[in-house]
Structure 1
């Protein structure tokens, strides 16, 4: 029952991403397709670079015992040209990615701001007397410009990493079936920490929205010319300044406490992962020393 409930919860959380993705698509279909395509290509190119490095090292190692050095160099030169081409394509994709990301993010930001303006005009006047409305409006103003692109980034990166992961798992399975399982276990603690603290931060932000909005109003009153005369006339500057500082200090302490807990949890997760990964690497080195793997394989597994 517990496992089924957890699965249903995960499915519901995934389905909540669909409206955000729909907004991203509606804002600019062209840039959305370009962004996804570039990220997928960028997921394949590193694998090609690693594999070509392995071929170069294996060819050079074999050529040390070959008397025809020119033939060996020609073979190595071919792989060097291919590796250089992959590097140039990677650089090109990175440069194009900056343009695509900037253009796409700007389109999404403008589109989301337009939606916020339209919804504000459609809202009944009674909502402007409701504090919950202002809390929701502030979260929308703060998160709408970047949240949908961030969701798209994470999903495309998951797809990109999945392609790389499948290739790496196939590679590691060819060495020993248990290695892939060990590396999967090594990645689990960091994943759990990330999911847990994502929820903690989300709940904290929702809970503290009224305080954030209150500090924003106080800051506006202290710096706006609209209230300058009254603040000086009634000597309210120190009162509002202290009030503002108390709010910001409380938010600061709570935010730092969350960040501290997340940092220690990440340290523990990374320590476990590091121990397991270097144990696997030690096994690969052992196999290489005993001649079961080639030097290029060692480099390949190390970079993987």
Structure 2
């Protein structure tokens, strides 16, 4: 009987796992190459002529080096033979040698032209591919939900996709063609080198393996470092925005935040750089150490070939050819293995792109364009909703009715659920419980485009487009984006027409400071532009104002709202405001707290109840009275 110690027993138990782990690592390594085919398809669909050109020139560039080496052998041996003939006969025919020299010159010229052609086509494809991939990323963004854009992990995916994905597909394809080119060259070299010794081919391959293993290992490390950096890079980008944008620099300067923010920016860089520096140093030290093995192998083969030539086993021309093709063959194998390692790295980065492009898209179902009760308006029936990742509901069992031709005001402290109701009404989110009806039909059954054409919303944080004045107005209705007559009508209805006519180019004035000749507007003027944008939607019978006049005084806001109501008599108007002097004009008022309706009615009835609404109204009114 043979007894095993505990350590020996554990070693034997561990051994069967080793092949499994190795196989798993190999499978993980190879699985990454699934994106190579997709990258090739992407390049092919971007430009078929350029792709065909790459293939043809790759073939030419692969064959020419071996042909040049063979012609070099013929030249050396021909020169030696001519020298002997000259010494013996005193004359020689130069024409045979000159023909080979001319032929080699033609081969070298063809190789140079192929390499130039490859470089030119790669540059053209790089520009086309960069545009193609960026468009794919932006098109995908248009299909994603608001919930995804409000998720920080989604932004990390977007950042990773945008950072290098526009260059990686072409880099992967270039490496693939480089692999093909060098493989063709190697096949050509092998035909010549095998005549010297089959063992020389094995030496070539083994000498290049250590560098390949090192590169593959560190490519994976670099990718993991890149993923880890994504959130920190987004913080850096945000700090850049704060330090270099006109809409934030005023406050940064006023509060003296520049040094603090810049120090944070530097600290993030230092953290990222220290990790990157460690990786670079390790990668290059290992690459140098393992590369020495390849150098030793080359010079061992060099000595072998020289000895063979001295012993007269090969001619001087053959020695020259074998040295040349051994050196070029070693470079080709090394390039191939490095290309495979690089392809592995490119595939890893392409996984970022496709991870983003394959984000699930919520299907916007519904095809209805009319409801069964055209005069019923909007109904919320026991609607509840909780934001993704939140611990408590944003709104709870909200029920309300807004018929056509009436106005509804939503009041309440920040976070009470007012804007959430608007997001649900516009189907940016869907309720968790209850239902929302428009003209007697559930919002989920409406055609998304038809629904959005019926709604005009101006949020408090409306976009200030760095476009022409008219285009800022036209953004309210994309179908009339360039209609100047509609611009002017919307500007008049939004009360923006008087100051627009005083601008240098009126409705053709560039707004913002980002582009040459741009003019900046005051906060109140921008809000009138936004109001005009709402009036661009001629088909909209639901108009929503989510505190869009916060930059105006109370009197101006009240005048704006009254003007808005008078031009929207047959429409449903929803107003969100903290000013009771404005909301008092609404037909119905809802007071929200913690996502629930605590009071509702018109201004007079709510004052008569003497509840929370009345308390807030009198508290605000007191601030306008002079004691």
Alignment TM class, shorter chain as reference:
over 0.9
Deviation for aligned residue 1:6: 4.7
Q: TM-score, normalised by structure 1?
A: 0.95
Asked if 1:40 is matched to 2:59, the reply is yes
In structure 1, distance between residues paired with 2:166 and 2:294 = 35
In structure 2, distance between residues paired with 1:280 and 1:27 = 45
Asked if 1:123 is matched to 2:140, the reply is no
In structure 2, distance between residues paired with 1:132 and 1:96 = 42
SS in 2 for 1:66: helix
| Residue ranges of structure 2 left out of the alignment (5+ in a row) | 1-18, 326-627
Asked if 1:103 is matched to 2:124, the reply is yes
Deviation for aligned residue 1:51: 1.3
Asked if 1:54 is matched to 2:80, the reply is no
SS in 2 for 1:145: coil
Question: What are the within-5 Å matches in structure 2 for residues 1-304 of structure 1?
Answer: 1-2=19-20, 4-67=23-86, 72-304=93-325
Q: Aligned-residue CA RMSD in angstroms? A: 1.7
Q: Deviations over 1:151-208 (max 9, x none)?
A: 0011111111111122223333221222211221100011111111111111110111
SS in 2 for 1:292: coil
Summarize the Cα distance change of 1:299–1:69 in structure 2 as closer, same or farther, 3 Å threshold: farther
Q: TM-score, normalised by structure 2?
A: 0.47
Deviation for aligned residue 1:10: 4.1
Q: Deviations over 1:125-150 (max 9, x none)?
A: 11111111111111221212200000
* Conserved 8 A contact 2:36-2:173: no
* Conserved 8 A contact 2:63-2:188: no
SS in 2 for 1:185: helix
In structure 1, distance between residues paired with 2:23 and 2:147 = 42
* Conserved 8 A contact 2:57-2:118: yes
Higher relative contact order (CA 8 A, sep 6+): 1
| Residue ranges of structure 1 left out of the alignment (5+ in a row) | none
In structure 2, distance between residues paired with 1:237 and 1:69 = 87
In structure 2, distance between residues paired with 1:97 and 1:126 = 45
Summarize the Cα distance change of 1:80–1:70 in structure 2 as closer, same or farther, 3 Å threshold: farther
Deviation for aligned residue 1:272: 0.8
* Conserved 8 A contact 1:66-1:72: no
| Misfit runs of 4+, over 6 Å | none
Deviation for aligned residue 1:112: 0.8
Q: Deviations over 1:91-117 (max 9, x none)?
A: 322332232122111111111111011
Deviation for aligned residue 1:246: 0.3
Summarize the Cα distance change of 1:265–1:39 in structure 2 as closer, same or farther, 3 Å threshold: same
Deviation for aligned residue 1:241: 0.5
In structure 1, distance between residues paired with 2:28 and 2:230 = 25
Summarize the Cα distance change of 1:228–1:10 in structure 2 as closer, same or farther, 3 Å threshold: closer
Deviation for aligned residue 1:216: 1.3
In structure 2, distance between residues paired with 1:80 and 1:276 = 31
Greater share of residues in strand: 2
Deviation for aligned residue 1:16: 2.7
In structure 1, distance between residues paired with 2:104 and 2:25 = 45
In structure 2, distance between residues paired with 1:99 and 1:163 = 21
SS in 2 for 1:175: coil
In structure 2, distance between residues paired with 1:144 and 1:15 = 16
Greater share of residues in helix: 1
SS in 1 for 2:247: coil
* Conserved 8 A contact 1:135-1:209: yes
Deviation for aligned residue 1:4: 4.4
